[in-house]
Amino acid sequence: MSEFFDGLSDPLALALLGLLIAAVWAFWVRKRLLGGLLSVLFLWLYFLGITPGADLLLRPLEDAHPALIMPPSREVAAVVVLTGGEAASPGRPVTSDLSESSLERLIEGIRVWRMLGKGVPLIFVGGAGIPGRGAESPLMAAAAMALGVPEEAISWESTSRNTYENALAVRDILGRRPFVLVTSAFHMPRAVEIFRKLGTTPIPAPCGQRTLRAYITYDFIPRAINLWHSAHALREYLAILWYRLRYSQGIAPDTR
């Protein structure tokens, strides 16, 4: 019962309840068109807001590349970690200055780096993702050092602003030498496609997987976090489409 009330207190669940009441009222007063529109909106938001709905959108992206559990069979030149957002503020530990995606990528990057051996450099790639914000890669480098990675093993690139520019920067640093690429699982298909298109040799190490393989009743209660996951998936599909259209026209894509 507590899980039910936890779900019901979620802003999305409350909004959907209000939308459902409005749809029922519209049908009650014979405003069928309004009732139909409200019902469609309710069903669409409900689908995006439940775990199975968000997973249906995320799974094709997350399953495109398996996790890197064992060391790759060939020698790699570096572990490259793409940044994923920051929220720096004075008076907090550096790990709190990273977004959820950046923190997941940082942890996976350190895990892979330790798995490969300390002779492999750990490179953080990414500048300011949002105009006016600070560069993200120095924060991730500082967090890595705070978590025990020696300074001499770390380097970063802080001018690239999107995935396409990330790939150009890595190409300048590593050329065609193979490297492990760490980024969020939902972002990995687009990243790998762009990196390979530009002539680099990434070995995917996706992280931050969010999809489940089995569901319980609680997963069908809408939650705002699932709406956020659905938004990530929809944005990736649009970004992949935009990249392919732009690249087919010979124009460098410009999307995070």
Please tell me the predicted confidence (pLDDT) of residue 254. 54
Q: Using the predicted structure, report yes or no on whether residue 6 has a pLDDT greater than 80.
A: no
Please tell me the predicted confidence (pLDDT) of residue 89. 72
Q: Report, as an integer, the average pLDDT of 241-256.
A: 71
Q: Give pLDDT tens digits for 17-74.
A: 898 899 999 889 988 999 999 999 999 999 999 999 999 999 999 999 999 999 998 8
Amino acid at 178: P
Q: Report, as an integer, the average pLDDT of 120-147.
A: 88
Paired residues of 207 in beta bridges = 184
What SS3 class is residue 127?
coil
- What does pTM read for this prediction? 0.89
- How confident is residue 118, by pLDDT bands cut at 50, 70 and 90? confident
- How confident is residue 5, by pLDDT bands cut at 50, 70 and 90? low
Please tell me the predicted confidence (pLDDT) of residue 4. 54
Please tell me the predicted confidence (pLDDT) of residue 7. 59
Q: Which domains does the chain have, with CATH numbers?
A: 2-62+216-248 (no CATH), 79-207 (3.40.50.620)
Q: What is the DSSP string of 186-247?
A: TTHHHHHHHHHHTT-EEEEEEE-----SS--GGGGS--HHHHHHHHHHHHHHHHHHHHHHHH
Q: Report, as an integer, the average pLDDT of 194-207.
A: 96
Average pLDDT taken over every residue of the chain:
90
